[in-house]
Amino acid sequence: MVETIQWTTQGVVMLDQTRLPRETVFVTCRDYREVAQAIRGMVIRGAPAIGVAAAMGMALGAAGADPASLDAEMDHAAETLAATRPTAVNLFWAIERMKELYGRLRGRPVEEIRAALEAEAREMYRQDIAINQAMGRHGAGLVPDGKTVLTHCNAGALATAGFGTALGVIRAAVAAGKKIDVFAGETRPFLQGARLTAWELMQDGIPTTLITDNMAGHFLKSGRIGCVIVGADRIAGNGDVANKIGTYSVAVLARENGVPFYVAAPISTLDLSLASGDAIPIEQRPAAEVTHLFGVAVAPEGVAVENPAFDVTPARYVSAIVTERGVARAPYSESLRKLVVG
Ligand code: MRU
């Protein structure tokens, strides 16, 4: 299994996802500013992985500060990390969890505070893997045996502390003996599907076929695809799902062709404070991601560009949402709340 992120005595070590699959290179972040830089620069990406990185960044915030400046440093760490990427709510969830712990510890000896924040960040890493495995157990039954599963972007081990959300469900289905293969949409413009999902699944020996995003409709119509499974960056209270740009098109095409469309996401991806997906902030990324491929221009200079990194799939297209606490189905305003309250 790939190690996406690790807490070490040298700092927070991340597998550089901008360089996969050509190179397996690790980046060491020694303070929260470097962690923020890594999140913004997509060295680490994927909602749960960003959350774990932010928690570790907050722990580094305490590690670097002297007692007199600890309060100010922790505030600055939280602000800096929160300003990296706006859509995945796991980032803000993780920062809040670390801030709450710090608030409870304020006034204690600095060494004790540092140790507790480090222990919490490491615990969040461990919990994320366990959560993904639980999601796999709940979701594996949804995957039809002997069929192809279509996924979009990368919701795998690389997008989490390990095992993955959508790819975790696929891994659990394979482990349960189901004969499935995966179609990975390449996911323009950042190519998470081509560069990361295909790489990760091939490492596990799960049969994987790469398709370009505009082939999704053709294959959904063909009858080969048994279901679609994707991850999520934020899910509103009514079940609307923000995920990688292109997810909405896949969901509509899945519905048109009678193919179930599943979302796998931890409870920390739910944002029940939002009534609908209309309120989810959508990150706009640099035009160069669209106009250039690996530094080479593929569009005329000066062309106008839009580059929203995420879209929102209305809840009516979502057949089920798999979480670590079970599977939610429509009406999501009731089922999601029930999962959260317990
Ligand atoms: O821009 P990215 O690569 O961070 O976007 C990632 C996604 O959209 C994933 O599908 C989502 O975060 C779920 S990851 C388990």
Burial class (CB in 10 A: 0-12, 13-18, 19+), 46: buried
**Tokens 């896949």, located at residue:** 250
Give the whole-angstrom CA distance, residue 161 versus residue 170. 17
- The verdict on the CB of residue 319 being under 6 Å from ligand 1 is no
| 203 neighbors 280 (Cβ within 8 angstroms) | no
Say how many Å lie between the CA of residue 158 and the centre of ligand 1.
10
Give the whole-angstrom CA distance, residue 284 versus residue 180. 35
Same domain, 186 and 302: yes
Nearest CA to ligand 1 atom 5: 46
Same domain, 201 and 288: yes
Say how many Å lie between the CA of residue 232 and the centre of ligand 1.
7
Same domain, 245 and 161: yes
User: Does residue 1 register a pLDDT over 80?
Assistant: no
Same domain, 111 and 154: no
Mean pLDDT, rounded, for 105-110: 92
- The verdict on the CB of residue 45 being under 6 Å from ligand 1 is yes
Say how many Å lie between the CA of residue 47 and the centre of ligand 1.
5
State the pLDDT at residue 39: 98
State the pLDDT at residue 66: 85
Cis peptide before 331 (omega within 30 of 0): yes
State the pLDDT at residue 63: 86
State the pLDDT at residue 241: 99
User: Does residue 275 register a pLDDT over 90?
Assistant: yes
How much of the chain exceeds pLDDT 90, in percent?
Answer: 96
Query: DSSP of 287-303, one letter per residue?
Result: THHHHEETTEE-S-TT-
Say how many Å lie between the CA of residue 315 and the centre of ligand 1.
18
Same domain, 141 and 283: yes
CATH number at residue 32: 1.20.120.420
Give the whole-angstrom CA distance, residue 73 versus residue 79. 10
- To test the ligand 1 pocket, which listed residue (2, 151, 154) has its Cβ within 8 A of the most ligand atoms? 154
User: What region, left, alpha or beta, does residue 253 occupy, with left being phi > 0 and alpha being psi -120 to 50 degrees?
Assistant: alpha
Put simply, whether the predicted model's pTM sits higher than 0.85 gets the answer yes
- The verdict on the CB of residue 231 being under 6 Å from ligand 1 is yes
Other beta carbons within 10 angstroms of residue 10's beta carbon come to 10
Same domain, 101 and 167: no
- The verdict on the CB of residue 195 being under 6 Å from ligand 1 is no
**Index of the ligand 1 atom closest to the CA of residue 165:** 15
More confident position, 11 or 65: 11
Structural domain ending residue among the three candidates 112, 133, 154? 133
**What does the mean pLDDT of the chain come to?**
97
Burial class (CB in 10 A: 0-12, 13-18, 19+), 229: buried
User: Does residue 6 register a pLDDT over 70?
Assistant: yes
**Index of the ligand 1 atom closest to the CA of residue 90:** 12
Same domain, 114 and 185: no
Same domain, 197 and 309: yes
- To test the ligand 1 pocket, which listed residue (20, 42, 45, 171) has its Cβ within 8 A of the most ligand atoms? 45
User: What's the number of domains the chain is made of?
Assistant: 2
Q: Which domain holds residue 159?
A: 137-341
Report the catalytic residues: 233
Structural domain ending residue among the three candidates 115, 133, 151? 133
